[in-house]
Structure 1
Amino acid sequence: MIACYGDKVKYWLTFNEQNLYHSPEAFLISGYLQGEKTLRELYLIQHHVMMAHVHLTHYLHQTKPQCQMGGMLAHALVYPATCKPRDILCAQQLDEFLNQNLLRAYAGEGYSPEVMHFVAAEGFDDIYRPEDLALMATVKVDYLAFSYYASRTLNSDAIPPGTAVNNYMLFGNQDNPFLKATEWNWQIDPLGFRTIITRYYNDWRLPVFPIENGIGVIESWDGEHPIADDYRIAYHRDHINAMKAAILRMGRR
């Protein structure tokens, strides 16, 4: 693809929503066919996907220096359910494992120290070959991209002791009483959209590309009359205004 279209296409991405390969969903989307779906296998999948990203980014920069490669997340914006310290800690841990871990790698910093400490404690460190980590340190993306549809809220009381951070939302997810939700129970939060854009640029000083955002609704057409989807118009208006505020008021690119 790069060899064929590199002179025509400037902006490239390797994996859509790459952090999903570090969540339980990885076993559904990675081509995993059989096995015990262990935590070790989850980390193996995540690292192999990251190394594919690293090798392709390196290849693009070497062969098509006029092109740009981005890293892309399904950003998991998670609020603590209360101001209880454990709720805050668990929300921060989830952010580190599912968001910041990859953002650090995209920025050429390598994996999160917190994640790698967990890896060593679990005995998974043999997955991460020194030559892989050395190559990661030489590769940096040119921009950051993300998808965002809704925020989520985490209740630490519902998380069983010993649960891996990657699995927190399997148990601790709860509704946010301050937000409306779609029919799929995705909670509508345009301020969360602004928060992500602002934080990305504050932390990494790279161009930010929001490349997925929208609302899903159970609806049908009667075959005759126009669809009155004011709810969709309102969703996009509020999120566009949030993005505008991040750009004009906060100085984001």
Structure 2
Amino acid sequence: MDKNFLWGGATASYQCEGAWDVDDKQPSMWDVYLHENNLENGDIASDHYHRYEEDIRMMAEGGQNTYRFSLSWPRIIKDKEGTVNEKGVAFYHRILDTCHKYGIEPFVTIYHWDLPQYWEAEGGWLNHQVCAAYEHFAKVCFENFGEKVTYWTTFNEPKWFIVNGYFIGNYPPGLQDVQKTMYGAYHVMYASALAVRAFREGNYPGEIGIVHSYTPVNGVDDSIETKIAMRYADNYCNNWILDTAALGEFPIDLIAKLSEKYDVSFMKQEELAIIKQYTVDFIGLNYYARTLVKPYTEGETQLIFNHSGKKGQSKVVIKNWFEQVKDPNSEYTAWDTEIYPKGLQDGLLEAWQRYQLPIFVTENGVGVREDVSVECVQDEYRIAFMNDHINAIMNAMDQGVDIRGYYAWASFDLYSWKNGVEKRYGLVAVDFENNQVRKPKASYYWFKEMIASNARLITRRKFEGDKIK
């Protein structure tokens, strides 16, 4: 393993910072959505806003050499006119300075879902003006933090916040409209290219990429019908982000298919030219599970996701495209997430062969209910999960894939969107009921030893077929 390999954890501003209205921060779309719907929120979350030094120090003490975190747009920009909130800028300078103090490499996400409410009130990602506003926000970040950051990413998981917000309707703004989903998807990928252009034209140091919620697609058999379903699923799950960011082009068969029923005239040639020219330097892949599909059979589109932690509630069917199915031989979490490390190895090989860009595994983890009142959570399940997925990464590297970092999700327990704080991912336990006390879990100590050994402590296994050998 390369001695410069980045080993760390990841968080997101809304999910960990708290301090939702402190120091002139403006409301985000998530603040308003969760407050208005009386849902568990991130008003306090992990209180990282006030406890960041403790958290970063614990990362360093755990042997980690990098921290992936996001910048809050409504904390940095006060209004639609683009007024900079100097208190917000100062906060992120404190974060960056603390990272460097402890020998932690910052890996900075510009946008991780928390759109300012003042833009959501104007249509959010359906409004073309938000693209220019995002470009301005990105420039403010580059200008203020550029000397302290080597690795930037434009967006975290466009697929999730666009599809869930505009197609499935379980995230704000809670819409179910294919045409609007197309508008939002296009605007986000155009905005990403604008940020890359600003980064390059500003001659800032470092590199810039994008982070995608990667679900490599498998089929139930080798039939032509299944291969067609797999292509539909791959375009829906992966290609409209990765092809566009890395190759500079939306998948042409996806656009052709959508154009049969929907308007695509909003895609302007001059903007597509910017997307083509300003592609990313690397890709970040968040991996939790694959997508296993069969050909579409019957019924209407159904997209149901498990936010309750009661197994068996998820269902994904896109009419005339594909149906997602469960492998009866696989293990699943309480939230219906398949545990399938072989999918990471296969997916890394596929992404490398297709894009020939350096890859960071920017999120990987397992969410479970845990009793954090004990002195040390004995999370052997998380250790086994991480071991098998890091093993998959090493197998892919053995096959020539250029992988440069691994980030556990998450650095510490945090708010997990509509799953609240019940669904825990952290290497460090946060007792939300007891003054936010931090206590490292067994996985924290295992990760420290694994990093110190340069990954030699990993139990190496080869994946054959669908089984671990």
Cα distance, 1:37 vs structure 2: 3.1
2:341 counterpart (176, 180, 190): 190
| TM-score (norm. length: structure 1) | 0.87
Q: Secondary structure at the match of 1:4?
A: helix
| Structure 1 residues 32 and 239: CA distance shift in structure 2, 3 A | closer
Structure 1 residue 10 corresponds to structure 2 residue 150? yes
Which has the larger share of helix? 1
Residue 38 of structure 1 aligns with which residue? 177
- Higher RCO by CA contacts (8 Å cutoff, separation 6 or greater): 1
1:57-76 superposed Cα distances (whole Å, 9 cap, x missing partner): 10011103432110221012
| Structure 1 residues 177 and 168: CA distance shift in structure 2, 3 A | farther
Residue 194 of structure 2 aligns with which residue? 55
1:231 counterpart (381, 399, 415): 381
Residue 205 of structure 1 aligns with which residue? 356
1:152-174 superposed Cα distances (whole Å, 9 cap, x missing partner): 322334553799x9946998232
Q: Secondary structure at the match of 1:7?
A: helix
Cα distance, 1:50 vs structure 2: 1.0
Residue 103 of structure 1 aligns with which residue? 242
The 1-side partners of 2:203 and 2:171 are apart by 30
The 2-side partners of 1:14 and 1:29 are apart by 24
Amino acid at match of 1:4: N
1:175 counterpart (326, 346, 351): 326
2:233 counterpart (86, 94, 98): 94
1:188-244 superposed Cα distances (whole Å, 9 cap, x missing partner): 1111111111111111111001100000112213x3453221111100000011101
Which has the larger share of strand? 2
Q: Is the 8 A contact 1:15 1:71 kept in 2?
A: yes
Residue 20 of structure 1 aligns with which residue? 160
Q: Is the 8 A contact 2:287 2:344 kept in 1?
A: yes
Structure 2 counterparts to residues 56-205 of structure 1, below 5 A: 56-160=195-299, 167=318, 172-205=323-356
Q: Is the 8 A contact 1:159 1:171 kept in 2?
A: no
The 2-side partners of 1:184 and 1:166 are apart by 18
2:390 counterpart (222, 240, 243): 240
Gapped regions of structure 2 (runs ≥ 5): 1-140, 303-315, 404-469
| Structure 1 residues 139 and 178: CA distance shift in structure 2, 3 A | same
Cα distance, 1:81 vs structure 2: 2.8
1:216 counterpart (344, 367, 383): 367
| Greater mean deviation of Cα atoms: 46-55 or 89-98 | 89-98
* Number of matched pairs: 250
Structure 1 residue 249 corresponds to structure 2 residue 399? yes
Q: Secondary structure at the match of 1:126?
A: coil
Greater C-alpha Rg? 2
Q: Is the 8 A contact 1:150 1:186 kept in 2?
A: yes
Residue 60 of structure 2 aligns with which residue? none
Q: Secondary structure at the match of 1:74?
A: strand
1:123-174 superposed Cα distances (whole Å, 9 cap, x missing partner): 42211011111111111100011101112322334553799x9946998232
The 2-side partners of 1:154 and 1:33 are apart by 28
| Structure 1 residues 104 and 152: CA distance shift in structure 2, 3 A | closer
Identity fraction in percent:
22
Amino acid at match of 1:209: F
Amino acid at match of 1:127: F
The CA RMSD measured in Å over matched residues stands at: 2.9
Q: Secondary structure at the match of 2:147?
A: coil
The 2-side partners of 1:199 and 1:206 are apart by 12
| Greater mean deviation of Cα atoms: 64-73 or 10-19 | 64-73
Gapped regions of structure 1 (runs ≥ 5): none
| TM-score (norm. length: structure 2) | 0.49
